[in-house]
Amino acid sequence: MRVGVLTGGGDCPGLNAVIRAVTLKGIGERGWDVVGFRNGWHGPLTGSLRPLSPDDVEPILTRGGTILGSSRTNPYTEGGGTERILEVLAAEHVDALIAIGGEDTLGVAERLCREGVNVVGVPKTIDNDLGATDYTFGFDTAVHIATEAIDRLHTTAESHHRALVVEVMGRHAGWIALHSGMAGGASVILVPERPFSIEQVSGWVQSRFEREYAPIVVVSEGAQPDGGAEVLQTGEKDAFGHVRLGGVGQWLADELARRTGKESRAVVLGHTQRGGTPTAYDRVLATRFGLHAVDAVADGDFGTMTALRGTDIVRVPLAEATAELKTVPAERYAEAEVFFG
Ligand code: F6P
């Protein structure tokens, strides 16, 4: 059997750990040939691939990014769709695919499977916004990076009696903001799920200053003021129709400075949250997902995705994984609100 693996969408720490687990178990335990398609769905559309050997993957467990490259290629808007992918897989004698990705990559995997391609999915994203799994790998690392940044920003904010606004990623889900803000003792956490009142945020910031603490405001890139709209970096959309978010941190810092009369600065953590070495938690989760994806392919259980439920890895239908975004529930946000101001 010849099995292909690919990584699609925004990268995140832990992708290489999945590739390693799939390759080592696929070759060592199942006797498969394993190949890696390059750059997400671009690989199976163009036949760009490389064989993977145990020597290729042994050293990559701790490495961030993906040795296969990634892209946001959408086979249904560019490159020939299912028909082209079936042709390439037949020409390369690839019997099944393991697609590692988020909402968009797995949405393509689901459609491909309905149209005759043997695909198993593995969920990844720093945003942690996939409905069918308790956690995605990449999230824990992103939260650690953001928390470390917040810890450092506390000390410099105190020295200069400034408010610091920390903008984190997460797209339309506030998980990174919620977890890093809570872990880092933020004065306010703003998430896309709950439009905020700028008067109230400014009041909390003011009250922090009155108690001689420099406020740290953690804001998710998708958060928006009451009656306002998401702040966009550009109006352009990617191949899956997503706009590029970013800029709410600077807007907020300017507003807070104007309203409180205190110096306020914005720090955008951006892609640092996606780079570098995965945490031990993410390495283990990614490795387990890879091992279980091999079992799903061996069982012919296509159209499924590995998922974490409690501490168990289970298989769920791909359609379930992409059905709806997992956003921060009101009761989780309420826990964080206790510490605001
Ligand atoms: O989905 C992961 C993510 O990092 C989001 O949090 C963010 O909005 C987006 O990708 C950024 O994408 P890009 O790397 O294309 O700028």
Smallest CA-to-CA distance from 265 within 215, 299, 226 is with: 215
pLDDT over 70 percentage in the chain? 100
pLDDT (0 to 100) of residue 246: 94
pLDDT (0 to 100) of residue 228: 85
pLDDT (0 to 100) of residue 41: 98
pLDDT tens digit string along 7-55?
A: 999 999 999 999 999 999 999 999 999 999 999 999 999 999 999 999 9
pLDDT (0 to 100) of residue 322: 84
pLDDT (0 to 100) of residue 79: 81
pLDDT (0 to 100) of residue 241: 87
pLDDT tens digit string along 175-190?
A: 999 999 999 999 999 9
Nearest ligand 1 atom, CA 102: 1
What is the distance in A from the centroid of ligand 1 to the CA of 245? 8
Beta-carbon count within 10 A of 336 CB = 20
Active site residue 55: no
pLDDT over 90 percentage in the chain? 93
The answer to whether 174 is annotated as binding is no
> pLDDT at residue 166 above 90?
yes
pLDDT (0 to 100) of residue 184: 98
pLDDT (0 to 100) of residue 324: 87
Smallest CA-to-CA distance from 308 within 163, 110, 132 is with: 132
Mean pLDDT of 113-122: 98
Would you give the DSSP letter of residue 273?
G
Per-residue tokens: 324: 């709806």
pLDDT tens digit string along 309-333?
A: 999 999 999 998 888 899 999 999 9
DSSP string for 129-191: -BTTSS--BTHHHHHHHHHHHHHHHHHHHHHHT-EEEEEE--TT--HHHHHHHHHTT-SEEE-
> pLDDT at residue 110 above 90?
yes
The helix/strand/coil state of 239 is: coil
What is the distance in A from the centroid of ligand 1 to the CA of 202? 28
pLDDT tens digit string along 219-259?
A: 999 999 999 888 888 878 888 989 999 999 999 999 999 99
Whose C-alpha lies nearest to ligand 1, atom 2?
10
What's the per-residue H, E or C state across 242-270?
A: CEEECCHHHHHHHHHHHHHCCCEEEEECH
The helix/strand/coil state of 337 is: helix
Residues contacting ligand 1 via CB (< 6 Å): 10, 102, 125-127, 169-171, 221, 244-245, 274
Per-residue tokens: 314: 């289970």
The answer to whether 125 is annotated as binding is yes
Q: What is the pTM of this model?
A: 0.97
pLDDT (0 to 100) of residue 229: 85
Sheet with 163-168, strands from edge to edge, namely 188-190, 216-220, 163-168, 264-268
Per-residue tokens: 67: 């040795």
pLDDT tens digit string along 251-292?
A: 999 999 999 999 999 999 999 999 999 999 999 999 999 999
- The residue whose CB lies within 8 Å of the most ligand 1 atoms, and thus the one to mutate among 141, 244, 326, is 244
Which of the residues 11, 127, 129, 140 is marked catalytic? Answer: 127
d(CA 249, CA 181): 14
